[in-house]
């Protein structure tokens, strides 16, 4: 078994040049991009100066046309003819494929779009009007005559969505019939050459990227990269008109598989999934295919056509820190039993100018923008200081907003007076992961306004009717209080899940820490005190202040030695340096 033999064998079956290379297991992208040049080495004589006529002759005994539509020399016309003919109405292709044109540049271009059926059984004039040969394996997907249609749709899609991305990656959604045909060819090769390794086959989608993709790059004016590199992914969906009737053969190959399937699903259209086809083909033998009426894959009466092009840009992530100045503003829309409880939210205030900059409608907003943050504060809690880190994921963005646009977005957010965002920037996925991780590890500093509700334990002399006041002793008691020797920790406490979230969270008793604690009297307010508290992540400060029916213990009461409640709470600082600025912003 040598490569030339296999090449010829596949060619005789009716494979296109590129498919022949695939069956040989060629994995060199350039071989597919410039297949005409590359295949010469597998042909008996160098083809560079050989007329296609000879090529045709060498293929006269093919099986491909036997019981199919055409048995003329035209059947085996090589790929180069097809591509050449395409060029007549698309000069921009000339440079790329010019190499291939030499031999067959004189072919009548009209043939490409003609329905082949009318040239049945030798009616076709042998030299002038040649019928296009569709590859029995890729159904024309690797053949250049199917490419202009695809190029057109691709260009249109990219134009419609107006991506600014200078690169792209492409993916192919191929008809399932190509799997069936690949299997049929592989089995025949294997039958003829038992030492042939069927696993060597280069996947159609790879060969397509290397050939079609490389060609499309010039068309769309973007450079082709792998999906791992380019954020812009274009998916080309090729459909084969005879897909369904052709796949009927799978039923013959694996009746039990499809019997059970058709019971599950009544609809014919969804019966043949890619997975089911792979399953049915996995165990199929050449004999079984032959018995099912497929001694060899028949020449397709029509090639696969581009049915749709889908384009999507990987999400972009805008990051910043928000300051929340309202005590009547939830972080995200607050909807209870389908009823909106508050008219706005931090999320909506931030989304509005971003949506405007990207030209998104309110409906699109819901699907295309996603809000993420390092934790959240309650509706009635302000978030001051540098604010809280947040990110907005933009799905399928057309472009990055400019510095000036981002500045405008910040100004628009802040104009309403409820939320302030000073700066926004784009961050990477890695940075985004830090935001999510930060949620579990970050500390926060709070300011709490508290009211003393009873006389302190040391105030025995005060009568119950006397007004409750915060004394210097009280402040000193709090400022010196600690219940643990753990380094860096002032107070260790155990909190049960607060009642206010108990309906949606599991009931647990968690150990939490207060790292720093200081109290001060409030001028002009004898019963009040102001606390500054630094806590570990996940500490519920309100519950620690009032004790929540002793469900948090010890509570502030243990330090003050009097009953106490909370009147107001602010987040003074979220201790997470994110997003990190390249240049520190002036403050």
Partner 1 sequence: MEFTILDSIPDLTNFKSFTDRYFSKRYILNVDRIKNNDIMLMFHSNRITLLSLAPSHFFFKKNDNYKINFVIGKIDRLSNSVKGKGKKGGQLLTAKSVICKIEYNDGESFDVPSCMKGTLIEVNEELVKHPKLLKEMPDSNGFIAIILSSIAISEATKSELLSHEDYLKIMTNESSNNEK
Smallest separation (angstroms) from Zn ion to the CB of 15: 5
Tell me: does residue 337 bind partner 1 (CB under 8 A).
yes
Tell me: does residue 500 bind partner 1 (CB under 8 A).
yes
CA–CA gap between residue 14 and residue 100 (Å, rounded): 19
499 binds, among Zn ion, partner 1, none (CB under 5 to 8 A by kind): partner 1
CA–CA gap between residue 4 and residue 7 (Å, rounded): 5
Phi, then psi, of 182 in degrees rounded to 5: -60, -45
Tell me: does residue 585 bind partner 1 (CB under 8 A).
no
Residue of 451, 478, 514, 559 that binds partner 1 (CB under 8 A): 451
Closest CA to 284 of 158, 181, 401, 187: 187
325 binds, among partner 1, Zn ion, none (CB under 5 to 8 A by kind): partner 1
CB 111 within 8 A of CB 85: yes
CA–CA gap between residue 164 and residue 148 (Å, rounded): 23
Nearest-Å Rg of the Cα atoms of the chain is: 36
Tell me: does residue 449 bind partner 1 (CB under 8 A).
yes
137 binds, among partner 1, Zn ion, none (CB under 5 to 8 A by kind): Zn ion
CA–CA gap between residue 157 and residue 155 (Å, rounded): 5
Q: Which residues bind Zn ion (CB under 5 A)?
A: 16, 19, 135, 137-138, 142
Binding mask 455-494 for partner 1 (x = CB under 8 A): ----------------------------------------
Tell me: does residue 384 bind partner 1 (CB under 8 A).
yes
Residue of 301, 475, 515, 527 that binds partner 1 (CB under 8 A): 527
CA–CA gap between residue 96 and residue 186 (Å, rounded): 31
- Burial of 89 per CB tally in 10 Å (0-12, 13-18, 19+): exposed
Tell me: does residue 514 bind partner 1 (CB under 8 A).
no
Residue of 378, 412, 431, 565 that binds partner 1 (CB under 8 A): 565
Of 253 and 529, nearer to partner 1 (C-beta) is: 529
Place of tokens 């292709």: 93
Smallest separation (angstroms) from partner 1 to the CB of 539: 17
Tell me: does residue 507 bind partner 1 (CB under 8 A).
yes
Smallest separation (angstroms) from Zn ion to the CB of 274: 19
CB 549 within 8 A of CB 492: no
Q: Which stretch binds partner 1 (CB under 8 A): 71-79, 446-454, 465-473, 576-584?
A: 446-454
CA–CA gap between residue 169 and residue 345 (Å, rounded): 38
The separation between CA 52 and the C-alpha centre of its own chain, rounded to angstroms, equals: 45
549 binds, among partner 1, Zn ion, none (CB under 5 to 8 A by kind): partner 1
Q: For residue 315, give the DSSP letter.
A: P
Smallest separation (angstroms) from Zn ion to the CB of 23: 10
Tell me: does residue 327 bind partner 1 (CB under 8 A).
yes
Q: How far apart are the two ends of the chain, measured CA to CA in Å?
A: 75
């Amino acid at each position: 078994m040598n490569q030339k033999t296999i090449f010829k064998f596949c060619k005789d079956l009716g494979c296109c040049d590129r498919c022949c290379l695939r069956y040989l297991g060629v994995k060199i992208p350039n071989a597919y991009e410039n297949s005409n040049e590359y295949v010469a080495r597998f042909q008996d004589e160098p083809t560079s100066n050989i007329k296609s006529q000879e090529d045709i002759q060498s293929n006269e005994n093919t099986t491909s046309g036997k019981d199919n539509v055409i048995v003329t020399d035209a059947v085996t016309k090589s790929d180069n003819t097809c591509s050449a003919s395409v060029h007549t109405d698309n000069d921009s292709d000339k440079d790329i494929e010019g190499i291939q044109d030499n031999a067959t540049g004189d072919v009548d271009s009209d043939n490409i779009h003609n329905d082949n059926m009318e040239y049945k059984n030798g009616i076709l004039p042998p030299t002038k009007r040649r019928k296009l040969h569709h590859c029995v394996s890729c159904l024309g997907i690797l053949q250049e005559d199917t490419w202009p249609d695809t190029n057109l749709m691709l260009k249109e899609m990219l134009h419609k969505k107006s991506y600014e991305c200078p690169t792209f990656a492409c993916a192919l959604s191929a008809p399932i019939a190509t799997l069936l045909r690949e299997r049929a060819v592989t089995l025949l090769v294997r039958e003829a050459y038992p030492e042939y390794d069927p696993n060597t086959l280069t996947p159609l989608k790879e060969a397509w990227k290397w050939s079609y993709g490389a060609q499309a790059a010039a068309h769309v004016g973007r450079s082709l990269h792998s999906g791992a590199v380019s954020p812009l992914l274009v998916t080309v969906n090729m459909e084969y008109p005879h897909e369904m009737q052709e796949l009927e053969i799978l039923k013959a190959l694996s009746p039990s598989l499809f019997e059970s399937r058709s019971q599950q699903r009544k609809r014919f259209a969804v019966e043949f999934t890619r997975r089911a086809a792979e399953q049915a083909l996995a165990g199929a033998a050449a004999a079984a295919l032959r018995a099912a009426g497929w001694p060899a894959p028949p020449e397709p009466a029509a090639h696969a056509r581009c049915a749709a092009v889908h384009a999507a840009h990987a999400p972009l992530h805008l990051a910043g820190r928000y300051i929340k100045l309202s005590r009547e503003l939830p972080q995200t829309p607050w909807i209870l039993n389908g009823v909106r409880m508050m008219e706005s939210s931090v999320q909506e205030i931030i989304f509005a100018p971003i949506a405007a900059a990207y030209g998104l409608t309110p409906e699109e907003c819901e699907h295309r923008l996603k809000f993420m943050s390092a934790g959240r504060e309650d509706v009635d809690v302000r978030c001051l200081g540098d604010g809280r880190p947040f990110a907005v994921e933009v799905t399928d963005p057309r472009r990055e907003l400019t510095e000036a646009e981002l500045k405008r977005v910040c100004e628009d957010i802040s104009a309403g007076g409820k939320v302030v965002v000073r700066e926004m920037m784009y961050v990477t996925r890695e940075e985004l992961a830090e935001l999510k991780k930060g949620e579990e590890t970050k500390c926060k500093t709070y300011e709490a306004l508290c009211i003393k509700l009873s006389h302190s334990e040391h105030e025995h002399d005060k009568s119950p009717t006397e007004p409750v006041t915060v004394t210097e002793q009280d402040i000193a008691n709090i400022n010196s209080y600690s219940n643990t020797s753990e380094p860096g920790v002032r107070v260790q406490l155990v909190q049960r899940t607060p009642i206010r979230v108990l309906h949606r969270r599991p009931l647990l008793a968690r150990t939490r820490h207060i790292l720093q604690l200081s109290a001060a009297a409030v001028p002009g307010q004898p019963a009040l005190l102001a606390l500054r508290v630094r806590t570990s992540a996940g500490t519920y400060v309100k519950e620690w202040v009032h004790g929540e029916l002793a469900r948090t213990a010890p509570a502030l009461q243990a330090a003050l030695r009097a009953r106490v409640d909370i009147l107001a709470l602010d987040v003074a600082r979220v201790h997470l340096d994110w997003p990190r600025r390249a240049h520190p912003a002036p403050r």
